[in-house]
Amino acid sequence: MNQIIENSYQKPRWQDKYYIQKIKALEDGTPALVQVEEEAQYFVLRFDEDRHARKAMRAYAESLQHDAPTFAADILQKLEESEKTLGGRAERVFANIDRLYPNDEVEE
C-alpha cells in the first residue's frame, strides 16, 4: 500500500515521464502506431491509483457534455468500470493518501 502512495506522490513536480504514440486506423481498418506531432503537448493521468486524476477526468467529461456527449459518456463509463474493478482497493489507497498528506500537502 505504501508503495502505491510513494509512487504516486514521490516527485510532485512537473516532469516528462511518458513517451506517447497514437493509434490510427488505416484505410482497411487495421490499427497502426503513428508518431505524434513534435510540438504536441499531452498530460497523462493514471486514474486507477490517483484520486485527483479521477476528479480531473470527471471534470473533463462534464466540460465535454455539450460538445461531445458520447465521448463524455465513454469517459464516465470507463471511470465506473475502473471503480468496479478496483473494489475497495481505491478507497483504501485514497484514505491512506489523505491520512499521510492532509489538505494535499505533499512532503518533498
Query: Is residue 50, in this structure, part of any structural domain at all?
Result: yes
Count of domains observed in the chain: 1
Q: Is residue 35 part of a domain?
A: no
36 domain-assigned: no
pLDDT for 28-83, tens place per residue? 989 898 888 889 888 888 888 788 899 999 999 999 999 999 999 999 999 988 87
> Residue 2 has what pLDDT?
43
For residue 84, give Cα distances in angstroms to 28, 33, 87, 95: 35, 30, 5, 17
Task: For the chain, list the strands marked E by DSSP.
Answer: 21-25, 31-35
Smallest Cα–Cα separation from 106: which of 7, 34, 1, 26?
7
The more confident residue out of 17 and 72 is 72
Which three three-digit cell numbers place residue 107? 512532503
Write the single-letter amino acid at 107. Answer: E
Is 96 a member of any domain? Answer: yes
Within a domain: 71 = yes
Angstrom CA distances, 34 to 38, 42, 85, 100, stand at 12, 15, 30, 41
Structural domain including 53 reads 1-10+46-108
Q: Is residue 26 part of a domain?
A: no
Domain membership flag for residue 19: no
Q: How far is the C-alpha of 17 from the C-alpha of 32, rounded, in Å?
A: 23
Contact 32, 26 (CB under 8 A): yes
Q: How far apart are CA 15 and CA 6, in angstroms?
A: 16
Residue 92 lies in a domain: yes
Please report which confidence band the pLDDT of residue 105 belongs to, taking 50, 70 and 90 as the band edges.
very low
What was the pLDDT predicted at 75? 94
